Structure 1
Amino acid sequence: MSTNQPAVSRFPVPDISDMPQDIRERILAVQEKSGFIPNVFLVLAHRPDEFRAFFAYHDALMDKPGNLTKAEREMIVVATSNLNQCQYCVVAHGAILRIRAKNPLIADQVAVNYRKADITPRQKAMIDFAVKVSQQAYAVGESDLDILKSHDFTEEDVWDIAAISAFFGMSNRLANVTSMRPNDEFYALGR
């Protein structure tokens, strides 16, 4: 990294060679697949036990089979991360959304105003609920679940939407506190 570049994090970022073997192997596998190391891996490697827990829960939510597509899961992340003003997650997951949706415009639309985005009424209801969980979870009630059920979401889908929103609320807060910088590579992916 050039000395002119801002730091990846305000906290120490360990050298890959100093990381526990399992974490190092995961990071190198991601680098091999994507061509770069997303900064979230480097930043969270500062606390190995939390790194492992974070990515275990991330993978359980984002990579599982179910009625929500991988692109829809990313829509939830992008919309709620925008409301939480998380630059890292909007940029990084925006790139993943563009790739998974095979649509170069969708991430910007969802991040700026998902209600105006070129998405289905079902997806808008999903994001409405995710946003409510993110911003006003205390106000979630049966009427919210009824709306989702009217769009053919199951109870398991409702749990997934809520869990993704809640997990990324935590992630957004960590990214903001650490001043996690999005990798430059994310900006061009899927465009």
Structure 2
Amino acid sequence: MSHLEQTKDFKGVADVFMRDPALYGSLLHFIEAVMTRASALTVAEREIIASYVSHLNGCDFCVGVHHATLKSLKADDDVLAQLTTGPHSSAIDDRLRAVLTFAEKLTRDPHGIGPDEIDTLRDAGWDDQAIEDAINVISLFAYVNRLVDATGVKGSTDYFAYVGEMLATEGYAPLIKMAARKAG
């Protein structure tokens, strides 16, 4: 159930974006860049980070969408199962585990991030650009999770599957185009 009158009939966060495309259009471009541009972090790894951060933040909607995206990307079922219990499973490789451990600290204790946390990521084999890319995914979902939860958007299994397939195959480009058309 939506918390805001203007979002009461919305099926998902895309409806929030389309309600005010002049406001959210730039955000959609940023999301597209963070989640799909060339990076040492694969698109699937960024989706895993997004899903894990969303789990940490208790955002069931974003967990649903990004798990569906990962399924469409053919992510390992063991990895998906571990995203709700933490990154310490053998299904998650050491490099990604380091990023997810960092994501948990940045999500729960952002003021506690310092040189040691960055060095741990470097020691795991990530360069500074990949680390910045991870920081952007983590920070982006801190915002999007709060937007979704505060507006009360809930989604459904069918919605998650539809959006997950779109994100896996086309990224955020369809939403950007829709927002541009709607903005005039």
State TM-score, norm by structure 1.
Answer: 0.76
Equivalent of residue 104 in structure 1, options 77, 80, 97: 77
38-47 or 58-67, which deviates more: 38-47
Write the distance in 2 (CA, Å) between the matches of 1:179 and 1:106.
Answer: 28
Identity of aligned residues (%): 24
Sort the Cα spacing of 1:11 and 1:67 in 2 relative to 1 into closer, same or farther, 3 A: farther
Q: Which residue of 1 aligns with 2:24?
A: 51
Superposed, 1:1-191 pairs within 5 Å as: 6=1, 10-13=4-7, 39-116=12-89, 118-185=91-158, 186=160
Sort the Cα spacing of 1:54 and 1:187 in 2 relative to 1 into closer, same or farther, 3 A: same
Write the distance in 2 (CA, Å) between the matches of 1:167 and 1:127.
Answer: 15
C-alpha contact 2:44 2:75 (8 A) present in aligned 1:
no
C-alpha contact 2:121 2:131 (8 A) present in aligned 1:
yes
C-alpha contact 1:78 1:93 (8 A) present in aligned 2:
yes
> Shift of the alpha carbon at 1:106?
2.8
Could you tell me which amino acid in structure 2 is paired with residue 91 of structure 1?
G
Could you tell me which amino acid in structure 2 is paired with residue 45 of structure 1?
M
Write the distance in 1 (CA, Å) between the matches of 2:104 and 2:5.
Answer: 29
Root-mean-square deviation (CA, aligned residues, Å) is 2.5
C-alpha contact 2:7 2:16 (8 A) present in aligned 1:
yes
Q: Which residue of 2 aligns with 1:3?
A: none
Relative contact order (C-alpha < 8 Å, sep 6+): which is higher?
2
Aligned length: 163
State TM-score, norm by structure 2.
Answer: 0.78
The secondary structure found in structure 2 opposite 1:68 is coil
Runs (4+) of structure 1 exceeding 4 A deviation are: 187-190
Deviations, residues 79-105 of structure 1 (Å, cap 9, x unaligned): 111111001100101111222243334
Deviations, residues 85-141 of structure 1 (Å, cap 9, x unaligned): 001100101111222243334323212323236110111101111122222111111
> Shift of the alpha carbon at 1:171?
0.4
In structure 1, the gaps of 5 or more residues are 1-5, 16-36
Larger Rg: 1
Write the distance in 2 (CA, Å) between the matches of 1:79 and 1:56.
Answer: 22
123-132 or 48-57, which deviates more: 48-57
Write the distance in 2 (CA, Å) between the matches of 1:117 and 1:44.
Answer: 38
In structure 2, the gaps of 5 or more residues are 166-184
